[in-house]
């Protein structure tokens, strides 16, 4: 019992670390020993690749930093962002799919329910992405061009662009989630 007389719910909840891992790798269902072993293997491979990349990139950046400091900084930031976001994330997605970490097996009777759940999560992801891009665009416009945030938000073109982005992203998330659903075979 805690101070307010309620039973502690912490026993039944999984640790925050496990929740973050499940969310990051797209794992649904039980987080068993096999999935934990695969997550550790994939994460270690990604870390080792990034370690060597950053070691070499830092050495090259140090060579050019004295003669071209500003250009080196921008190239370094751009290439590191590209490698971190696209290369490593692509590896994580492919490795997770190969080891079947993110497959969702449902019975034939629950297949329609699972499709509806994926549709709802796709719509929610699209709405979140659209709102995030809308307000992030306003913030970037305010920083880069010193324009008023309200004028960016009130422009119909920016709203339509964010709606199209939300539909596109939500559709992609639905298709990805739909392909992850597998019917259980007896």
CA-to-CA distance for 63 and 36, rounded, in angstroms? Answer: 40
Note the pLDDT of residue 58: 94
**Higher pLDDT, residue 9 or 26:** 26
Nearest to 162 by CA among 140, 137, 130, 132: 130
The tokens of 35 are what? 């999935």
Instruction: Tell me the per-residue pLDDT of 77-126, one tens digit each, with 9 for 90 and over.
Output: 999 999 998 999 899 989 988 988 888 788 888 888 888 988 999 999 99
Return the pLDDT at 12.
62
For residue 8, pLDDT over 80 is answered with no
List for the chain the helix, strand, coil content (%; round to 5). Answer: 75, 5, 20
Q: What pLDDT digit, counting tens, does each position of 16-47 carry?
A: 988 899 888 888 778 889 999 999 999 999 99
Tell if the pTM clears 0.75, that is, is over it: no
Place 71 in a pLDDT band, splitting at 50, 70 and 90: very high
At 1, is the pLDDT very low, low, confident or very high (cuts 50, 70, 90)? very low
- Tell me the mean pLDDT in the region 52-59: 95
In the chain, where are the structural domains located?
1-102, 103-186
């Amino acid at each position: 019992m805690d101070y307010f007389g309620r039973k502690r719910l912490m026993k039944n909840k999984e640790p925050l670390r496990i929740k973050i891992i499940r969310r990051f790798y797209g794992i649904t269902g039980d987080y068993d020993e096999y999935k934990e072993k695969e997550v550790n293997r994939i994460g270690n491979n990604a870390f080792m690749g990034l370690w060597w990349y950053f070691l070499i990139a830092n050495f090259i950046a140090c060579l050019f930093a004295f003669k071209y400091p500003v250009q080196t900084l921008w190239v370094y930031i751009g290439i590191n962002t590209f490698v971190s976001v696209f290369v490593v994330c692509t590896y994580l997605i492919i490795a997770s799919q190969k080891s079947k970490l993110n497959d969702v097996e449902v019975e034939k009777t629950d297949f329609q329910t699972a499709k509806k759940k994926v549709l709802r999560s796709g719509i929610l992801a699209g709405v979140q992405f659209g709102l995030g891009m809308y307000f992030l665009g306003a913030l970037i416009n305010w920083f880069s061009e010193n324009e008023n945030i309200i004028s960016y938000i009130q422009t119909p073109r920016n709203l339509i662009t964010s709606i199209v982005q939300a539909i596109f992203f939500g559709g992609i998330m639905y298709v990805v989630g739909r392909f992850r659903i597998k019917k259980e075979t007896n």
